[in-house]
Structure 1
Amino acid sequence: MDTERKIVCYIAESLDGYIATEDDSLDWLFKVEGEGDAGYADFMETIDTVVMGRRTYDWVMEMEKGEYPYEELKSYIYSKSVKDGSPARDIEFTDMDIPAFADKLKSAPGKNIWVIGGSELLAGFMDAGLVDEFIISIAPVVIGSGIPLFKKSNLMTEYKLKDVKRYGEFAQLHYISK
């Protein structure tokens, strides 16, 4: 039985709703005591495609010292400028219209699609009503300012709580679209 691919956002945020500081630091996140991998390995089994913004991609590449951590997955990087010669074999740079892009991905066979970030790209998917699930790990840290998970929007979208888990000091909320 074929099941429809879902677009999922799996992410961590501060208690006050930020995914990074204004200078892109996640130091606050790594200071929080977790438990295990917070379900990351199980989540990774459900996806075969990652989508991220160019700024997130550049940050990942810097943190991973040029070693792309999602080599085994099909990857799409949203960028206003297309980059040639990506370091990984299955990376495609795109600036395709988000609804058309999502239709293309969801109509192809495969597992779920992970929108990693950042918040600008996520806002584009949210504005188009395309995020099927959120798995948000909340760190017990207030950082005061930074890059918010959700951009301001006039769109109201309702989700249903599927699960709540605790991983050490993290609370993980899993929401699905209604």
Structure 2
Amino acid sequence: MTDAESTGRPRTAYVTAMTLDGFIATDDHSLEWLLSRDIDPAGPFSHDAFMAGVGAIVMGRSTYDWIERHREQTGEAWFYQQPTWVMTHRPLEPPAGADVRAASGDVADLHPRLVAAAAGRDVWVVGGGALAADLARAGLLDEVIVSIAPVTLGSGAPLLDGHAELQLMDSGVNREFLCARYRVLPTAP
């Protein structure tokens, strides 16, 4: 049980997939390495089950840009119903009909709005190892939930861009993925 679960407050959780050597994307921010992997959507560490409890989303600009390139190639609609914030310093054109908002500055200042928008549900930190690390340093990241794929990249965007202390809470296997759920421990400044 996490601190968030024991207090009944929603979690801020960084849920992502990474390669065996610790990268969430290639140097050019591609996730193609992930899309060919076999995972059971209803299996252990189900993304669909996690999403049922998500009330708000925050992501970095590189993640947002990748999603938009992927949507453009596939013709898919915006993936999320939840209000979504994109941390960026550049102009942002939200997808038609989607609740996507640009934000800049310190994500710790944005966090109260994310929690309020989540309305008692969880906040999902989609992507950005730097974004997740900023939340961890501010003491605002409750969990890191990661699915580890059997592939290496050699370089790319790291899982977390900075130091974090974690405590293993749960683990499992979902087809090709080794999955782990960690509680983020407080660290000294």
Select between 140-149 and 85-94 the one with higher mean Cα deviation.
85-94
Distance between the aligned counterparts of 2:14 and 2:46, measured in 1? 14
Aligned position for 2:15: 10
Distance between the aligned counterparts of 1:148 and 1:165, measured in 2? 22
Distance between the aligned counterparts of 1:135 and 1:85, measured in 2? 27
The C-alpha deviation readout for 1:12-41, integer Å capped at 9, x for no partner, is 000000011112222222333323355011
Aligned position for 2:96: 87
Runs of 5+ unmatched residues, structure 2: 1-6
Query: Secondary structure of 1:117's match?
Result: coil
TM-score by length of 2: 0.81
Which residues in structure 2 correspond to 1:34-113 (within 5 Å)?
34-36=39-41, 38-65=45-72, 67-70=77-80, 72-83=81-92, 86-107=95-116, 109-113=119-123
Aligned position for 1:28: 33
Q: CA shift at 1:9, angstroms?
A: 0.6
How many residue pairs end up in the alignment?
173
Runs of 5+ unmatched residues, structure 1: none
Change (3 A) 1:117 1:64: same
Q: CA shift at 1:140, angstroms?
A: 1.1
Contact 1:53–1:77 (CA under 8 A) maintained in structure 2: yes
Pick from 128, 132, 147 the counterpart of residue 137 of structure 1: 147
Distance between the aligned counterparts of 1:171 and 1:158, measured in 2? 20
The amino acid of 2:85's aligned partner reads Y
Instruction: Give the structure with the higher percent helix.
Output: 2
Aligned position for 2:177: 170
The amino acid of 1:74's aligned partner reads P
Contact 2:168–2:182 (CA under 8 A) maintained in structure 1: yes
**Superposed CA RMSD:** 2.1
Query: Secondary structure of 2:69's match?
Result: helix
The amino acid of 1:158's aligned partner reads E
Query: Secondary structure of 1:64's match?
Result: helix
The amino acid of 1:102's aligned partner reads H
Query: Secondary structure of 2:49's match?
Result: helix
Contact 1:14–1:141 (CA under 8 A) maintained in structure 2: yes
Distance between the aligned counterparts of 1:82 and 1:26, measured in 2? 23
Distance between the aligned counterparts of 2:105 and 2:30, measured in 1? 28
Contact 1:82–1:94 (CA under 8 A) maintained in structure 2: no
